[in-house]
């Protein structure tokens, strides 16, 4: 399905958008729920990636396909490595087979796991034979993906002696590691993270222990509304829910970053009120190594406002749903933008011209579709294969229409 977005203006009646739970928090908590009894959850994400995670954890099949879900692939590799007596083939989409997993597999093997590559060395699919992991110390590279680290941390309290991780190189996406540790703490697991060492103490929850956790709504999904506010006229307001002032999600840095685009974000209880209050700064320069998932949103907002934009710390973007650096350059240039990319940065020139009626390819990447959609506040455009949004935010197009976007779909 392609969606034609006519140039739109946000509706004056500020309607409140209820955004689904964080997929990162949900996928961690679903795994902890499978490992420990007595955990109940509220506001779990309805994203494809979380539904796939739930199904995989409940499945009794020998082959489990997690499609495009990176966290599910990495977290379930660790999970199945500890499921004694079970042998599972863990596989995914064509793209998943190109997303590296060797660092995690090697770390699990150092702990005593039995995992084999079915096709290419270092990549899914994997054949995992569940075993008791006997060791508790492991060293791994931390500059490729934090998901390998979170995967190990999630199973750590179940290991006989817990886990001591030594991280090598510059640690990437640190807030996601802290999120994992905080969620472990919430269910009573003791952890420490000092410099490059993380320690998780072993823990068996007592039979009667009950933990009820409410998943905060997804901040990466919130970014598209920050972008809408940023691209609107001064005075425009949008309300999104349900958010917390002290979030576990690193993408909550949006509140600070979007001030540069003239957007103010105020809490009223768990509702976040976004308002365009000021003109933007003349140029944007951010390091996003702690918040890689909002890079696409930010560069599109900057382009829509005609701003020069330099983004750094983007080394993980090449191994996500698509090579996001190449995808951004290709699609932005269709509108007439001038973009340079390196292996870890992106540079957009200031320009006040935006070509109309461009068709955006989404490359099986939900964030390509959602990041470009707010540009309809400036021009007409088409989003190809628009259903990709369901990877993290299935009701995105409905919600988008509700705040005033004029959309037309065609099913080709």
Ligand X SMILES: C=C(OP(=O)(O)O)C(=O)O
Indicate the annotated binding residues for phosphoenolpyruvate: 23, 70, 99, 147, 324, 367, 391
Contact status: 173 vs ligand S3P (CB under 6 A) = yes
Locate all alpha helices (DSSP H) within 196-265, ordered by sequence: 219-230, 254-257
> Which of 8, 24, 26, 221 contacts ligand S3P by CB under 6 A?
24
Contact status: 178 vs ligand S3P (CB under 6 A) = no
Residue carrying structure tokens 């879900």 = 69
Of the candidates 110, 90, 193, 194, the residue with the CA atom closest to the CA atom of residue 159: 110
First to last CA, the chain: 6
CB nearer ligand S3P, residue 306 or residue 394: 394
**Least distance (Å) between residue 181 CB and ligand S3P:** 12
Nearest residue relative to ligand X (C-beta) = 70
- 249 secondary structure, DSSP code: -
Q: Which residues pair with 192 in a beta bridge?
A: 199
Q: ∠ at Cα 272 (269, 276), nearest 5°?
A: 140
CB nearer ligand S3P, residue 292 or residue 374: 292
Of the candidates 362, 254, 239, 363, the residue with the CA atom closest to the CA atom of residue 298: 254
User: How many helices (DSSP H) and strands (DSSP E) are in the chain?
Assistant: 12, 22
Measured over the CA atoms of residue 172, residue 176, residue 182 and residue 183, the dihedral's sign is negative
Restricted to residues 175-214, the positions that interact with ligand X (CB under 6 A) are none
**Least distance (Å) between residue 73 CB and ligand X:** 8
What is 200-214 written as a DSSP string? Answer: E------TT--EEEE
What is the C-alpha separation between 253 and 120, in angstroms, rounded? 37
Contact status: 150 vs ligand S3P (CB under 6 A) = yes
Q: Are 107 and 101 in contact (CB under 8 A)?
A: no
Restricted to residues 336-395, the positions that interact with ligand X (CB under 6 A) are 367, 392
Binding-site string for ligand S3P from residue 309 to residue 348, where x marks contact by CB under 6 A and - marks none:
-------x--------------------------------
Q: Which does 150 bind (CB under 5 to 8 A by kind): ligand X, ligand S3P, none?
A: ligand S3P
Span from 83-91, 145-153, 331-339, 349-357 in contact with ligand S3P (CB under 6 A): 145-153
Contact status: 147 vs ligand S3P (CB under 6 A) = yes
Contact status: 293 vs ligand S3P (CB under 6 A) = yes
CB nearer ligand X, residue 8 or residue 296: 296
Of the candidates 66, 27, 67, the residue with the CA atom closest to the CA atom of residue 364: 67
Phi, psi of 332 (to 5 degrees): -65, -35
What is the C-alpha separation between 25 and 251, in angstroms, rounded? 12
CB nearer ligand S3P, residue 99 or residue 136: 99
Give the residue numbers marked as catalytic: 293
Span from 62-70, 112-120, 256-264, 370-378 in contact with ligand X (CB under 6 A): 62-70
Count the site residues for ligand S3P by CB under 6 A: 12
Span from 123-131, 141-149, 240-248, 370-378 in contact with ligand S3P (CB under 6 A): 141-149
- 144 secondary structure, DSSP code: S
CB nearer ligand X, residue 220 or residue 236: 220
> Which of 29, 44, 69, 126 contacts ligand X by CB under 6 A?
69
- Which residues touch 342 (CB under 8 Å, ≥6 apart)? none
Local structure of 89: helix, strand or coil: strand
Q: Are 247 and 216 in contact (CB under 8 A)?
A: yes
> Which of 45, 82, 145, 301 contacts ligand S3P by CB under 6 A?
145
CB nearer ligand S3P, residue 75 or residue 261: 75
Residue numbers at the binding site for ligand S3P (CB under 6 A): 24, 71, 145-147, 150, 172-173, 176, 292-293, 316
Contacting positions for ligand X (CB under 6 A): 68-71, 293, 320-321, 367, 392
């Amino acid at each position: 399905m392609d969606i034609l977005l006519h140039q739109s203006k946000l509706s004056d009646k500020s309607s409140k958008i209820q955004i689904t739970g964080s997929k990162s928090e949900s996928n961690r908590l679903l795994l902890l729920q499978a490992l420990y009894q007595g955990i109940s959850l509220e506001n779990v994400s309805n994203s494809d990636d979380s539904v796939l995670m739930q199904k995989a954890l409940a499945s009794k099949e020998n082959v489990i396909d997690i499609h495009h879900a990176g966290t599910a692939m990495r977290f379930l590799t660790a999970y199945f490595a500890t499921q004694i007596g079970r042998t599972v083939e863990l596989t995914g989409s064509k793209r998943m087979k190109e997303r590296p997993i060797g660092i995690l597999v090697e770390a699990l093997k150092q702990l005593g796991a039995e995992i084999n590559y079915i096709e290419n060395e270092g990549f899914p699919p994997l054949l995992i034979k569940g075993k008791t992991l006997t060791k508790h110390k492991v060293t791994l590279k931390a500059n490729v993906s934090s998901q390998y680290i979170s995967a190990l941390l999630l199973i750590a309290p179940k290991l006989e002696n817990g886990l001591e991780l030594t991280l090598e190189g510059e640690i990437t996406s640190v807030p996601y590691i802290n999120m994992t540790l905080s969620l472990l703490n919430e269910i009573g697991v003791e952890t420490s993270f000092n410099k490059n060492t993380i320690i998780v103490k072993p823990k068996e929850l007592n039979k009667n222990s009950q933990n009820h956790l409410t998943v905060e709504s997804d901040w990466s999904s919130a970014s598209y509304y920050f972008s809408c506010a940023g691209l609107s006229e001064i005075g425009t307001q949008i309300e999104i829910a349900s958010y917390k002032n002290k979030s576990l999600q690193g993408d909550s840095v949006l509140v600070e970053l979007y001030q540069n685009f003239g957007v103010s974000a105020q809490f009223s209880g768990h509702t976040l009120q976004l308002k365009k209050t000021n003109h933007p700064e003349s140029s944007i320069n951010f390091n996003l190594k702690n918040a890689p998932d909002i890079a696409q949103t930010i560069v599109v907002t900057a382009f829509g406002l005609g701003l020069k934009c330099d983004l750094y710390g983007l080394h993980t973007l090449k191994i996500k749903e698509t090579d996001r650096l190449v995808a951004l350059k290709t699609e932005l240039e269709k509108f007439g933008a001038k973009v340079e990319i390196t292996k870890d940065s992106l540079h957009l020139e200031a320009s006040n011209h935006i070509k109309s009626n461009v068709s955006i390819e989404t490359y099986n990447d939900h964030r390509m579709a959602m990041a470009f959609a707010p540009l309809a506040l400036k021009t007409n455009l088409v989003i190809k294969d628009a259903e990709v949004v369901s990877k993290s935010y299935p009701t995105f197009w409905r919600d988008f229409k509700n705040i005033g976007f004029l959309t037309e779909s065609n099913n080709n």
